[in-house]
Amino acid sequence: MSEILLIGTFVVTSLIRFDCAAVKVDSDGLKLCVTSRRGMKDLSYQNLTNVPSDLSNDTQYLDLSYNFIRRLNPAPFSNLSQLCFLKVTHCGLQDISPAVFSHTVALKVLNISNNDLPFIPDLSLKHLKILDLANNLYTSYQLPKSFQNLTDLDILLLGSPSALSVKFNDFDPLANISLQHLVLGSGIHWKNYDSGSLAKIKSLQKMSLLASFCGTFEMFEDLLVDLNATQVKSLRFVTVFPDSCRVRSDPFRNLRTMPFIMNLTIENTWINSSFMEVFLKNVWISPLHDIAFVNITYNEDTPDGFQFHTINHTINLNSMTFNGINHYQYKYPKINMSFEAISNLTYLKFSGTGMNILPCRVISALPSLETLDLTDNLLTESGFWWFQCQPTSVFPKLRQLSLSNNRFKSLSFISIKMHEMKTLESLDLSFNSISLDGYCSWPAQLKELNIGNNYLGNSVFQYLSSNFERIDLSKTGITAVTQKDLSQFPKLTHLQLTSNSIQVIPSDLTVPTLQSLYVDQNTITSISREAMAGMPRLQTLKAGSNPFVCSCDSDWFVTTFNKSLLLDWPLDYTCNTPPSLAGLPLSDYKTSELLCEAWLQVAVALPVMTAICTVMGLVFLKCDGVWYTKMLWVWIRMKRRGKKRSNMLKNVSFNYHAFISYSHQDSDWVDSQLVLSLEGAGFSLCVHERDFVPGEWIIDNIINCVESSYKTLFVLSKHFVQSEWCNYELFFAQHRAVSVQRDSLVFILLEPIPTDSLPKKFLKLRSLLREQTYLEWPRDERKQQVFWASLKSMLHMADKSVILKDVALAISDTVPLLTDQV
């Protein structure tokens, strides 16, 4: 007979008493109820004596735990029509008004556990799915008749240290309720259980019993009979036997005749080695497929320890779990059992047992084993591959191996040893002390690797196999992921990068086979459209708990991305910046499409600009904009040229600001408008009718006046082009402009003169008018103000000093008729 002797493989571990039911209720309730963090109100630990009356009507989740609320009144809940999850625990709650929940029609989860309720409250909540009434002070498990209206109820938790008995009619209201999971008891010893009480609950899937039966095993046997009548498939017994309880009978013998039972968990219980032998015989003969021992205290009350030999019966058990073992004697336990009894196991878990050496026979004597979980032990490379073991084969059918939370270090050594496991597909090395100590040679059949929670850095990708399909690198110190890193995994379908320091998902990332990506709890500020386009087969994305920037970079993700791919949407997605939006749920962030889409901005801006330009053009033409523009251009040119000539003319002065050349037929306009306006402004003008020297030749007077003036103003009209003297004045002024001052000629167009009507002697004037800008006398008084301003600005450069001799000589060289006056 094949025997296994487990000696020296377990050390003492602390007994962890932890009821995960409450945690599961909260997590399930959050998934069921909350769609936005804005709807979550946590008012726990606020020293409240009453429920606040100013709660927002969009509240979905309300936590009032750890306060001093003795009574729930209707008023604060009257506006909470969206309330789905209410948690009022550890408040000393004693009374609930019947009308409290009349307006909370959406309530699905109600947790009022750990209070002082003296009786189970009367509730009529049609949509309630989870109800937790555990750890109160009611003395009876009698349910109110209103519970028969809880047609959607899936999970019910009941328990009171004052309720010591279960009566026959206590659960009658649940007779027609399709309850999935009943948690009953508070971990104390029951005095009485009426046979048939639980049998009235039909279609029960899972039963968790928190009660002690030491010395009253007949009561426990009756309870098993009733549970069999409910056709329950999963049983969980918590603290079924208290410490130092001597079990001399066989309370679990009814397991043999429970055809529907599939899973059995013994939790937080004292177990003697003598009882273990009797108990496992019932398990082996029963229809059970899964047995689990969680946080148990093992006591060897037999001199030879645990002895279990072969039994002649078909064994249905294929899964066995030992999760948390405390050895009472503080010595290595003795376990001697036949491998034939567990030869059909496909799943085996030894977690939290203090194992530091893997028993040799386990390696080769479990031919059907597919999953081995050795999480949370003290194993190292030398302890798992013990040098004294000489196995004939190494886990011949093993597919999944978990070595999480142990003391493994060498990734290269482990990769080589994995070749011994010919069928292994998944390996978990998370929460160890793994180091990248050299080249890794992974077996081709290994498809999945978890090395999360080991500080490895960005270079970890170089030590992985190209055959990997699933990789978990959560919390490994990765700061960046590149296309080069992931291109070496052509079969990659699942990648977990949770809790790293990744700042961006590269836009050039292309992973065509990827189906699942976890990048939550990093430092990613936005997710781009281009990055997601490189993952066409993506089915699951988890990217919450990142510091998202609420801007146009996030607009596409909020408005367009398929949210059905997001496991944690919308609860874990909030704005981090800008500060004005910090804490805002990303699902509530709204921005204008016009601000974020460049093509839309162009599409809108183009017609708007066209319309504005059209209107401005019409206004420009209507208000004589062409004329004003021309005058502005004259003024700008004058200023620019004036600055260029400032150095050249700074030692040159003139007798007049301007010499006026005009036809005597235009003298009325010259005298009444031009001379009056300019001399009234302080300018000195040379007018031939007034300032020509008597007795001198007219030509000499013309030359002297032209040379003595800063500018020569030509008043052009039809009369001007008919005057012979005007032609002379133009000639001399033009020559002077060429030799001394290039822009000394100023033309004032008094009336329109067609250029093709000019006499031949004024052909030069025609070219000058085409080349030089001239001032046009307007009829509109508003425009005349601009005209005078432009003309006056041209004359501000002159002063009253004497003309230098070299300037006069230069003019005399140019004009032969000039008489030297020096």
For 270, the enclosing helix (H) or strand (E) is strand 270-272
Residue 145 buriedness (CB in 10 A; 0-12 / 13-18 / 19+): exposed
- 479: its two tokens: 């700061």
pLDDT recorded at residue 28 = 76
Look-up of token digits 């997001």 = 566
Q: What are the backbone dihedrals phi and psi of residue 108, each rounded to the nearest 5 degrees, phi first?
A: -120, -25
Confidence bin at 570 (pLDDT 50/70/90): confident
Per-residue pLDDT at 428 exceeds 60: yes
Burial 345-354 (b: 16+ CB within 10 A, else e): bbbbbbbbbb
Q: What is the mean pLDDT of residues 337-365?
A: 84
Contact (CB, 8 A) for 598 and 573: no
At residue 589, the pLDDT reads 87
Measured CA to CA, the distance from residue 355 to residue 343 in angstroms comes to 21
pLDDT band at 734 (very low <50, low <70, confident <90, very high): low
Q: What average pLDDT does range 373-379 have in this prediction?
A: 95
The helix, strand and coil proportions of the chain, stated in percent and rounded to the nearest 5, come to 30, 20, 50
Q: Where are the domains of the chain?
A: 647-803
Structure tokens, 95:
């009374």
At 352, give phi and psi (nearest 5°): 65, 30
Tens of pLDDT, residue by residue over 459-491, are: 999 999 999 999 999 999 999 999 999 999 999
Nearest to 362 by CA among 353, 372, 354: 372
Give the pLDDT confidence score for residue 805 in this predicted structure. 33
pLDDT at 638: 52
- For 321-354, give the DSSP string: EEEEEEETTSS---EEEEGGGGTT-SEEEEESS-
Q: What pLDDT, on a 0 to 100 scale, did the predictor assign at position 497?
A: 97
Packing angle of the helix pair 625-644, 598-622 (nearest 10 deg): 90
Residue-wise pLDDT for 75-115, tens only, equals 999 999 999 999 999 999 999 998 899 889 999 999 999 99
Of the listed ranges 191-200, 550-559, 623-632, the one predicted with least confidence:
623-632
* Beta strand spans in 213-255 (E): 234-238
Structure tokens at 126: 């049609």
Structure confidence at residue 800 (pLDDT): 39
pTM over 0.85: no
Region 241-245: mean pLDDT is: 78
Asked if residue 598 has pLDDT above 70, the reply is: no
CATH architecture of 647-803: 3-Layer(aba) Sandwich (3.40)
Percent of the chain with pLDDT over 70: 84
- Average pLDDT of the residues in 605-616: 84
Distance of alpha carbon 692 from alpha carbon 725, whole angstroms: 13
Decide if pLDDT at 313 tops 80: no
**Residues 738/810, Cβ–Cβ less than 8 Å:** no
- pLDDT tens digits for range 18-50: 345 555 667 777 888 888 778 889 999 999 999
* Residues facing 157 on adjacent strands: 132, 183
The pLDDT score that the predictor gives to residue 736 is: 65
* Three-class SS state of 4: strand
Q: What is the mean pLDDT of residues 638-664?
A: 66
Tokens representing residue 740 in the block: 């001394």
CA distance 430 to 269: 30
d(CA 557, CA 525): 11
Model confidence band, residue 751 (pLDDT cutoffs 50, 70, 90): confident
Q: Give the chain's mean pLDDT.
A: 84
Q: Where are the beta strands (DSSP E) in 603-757?
A: 656-661, 685-687, 709-716, 745-749
| Cα 597 to Cα 734: distance, rounded to the nearest angstrom | 61
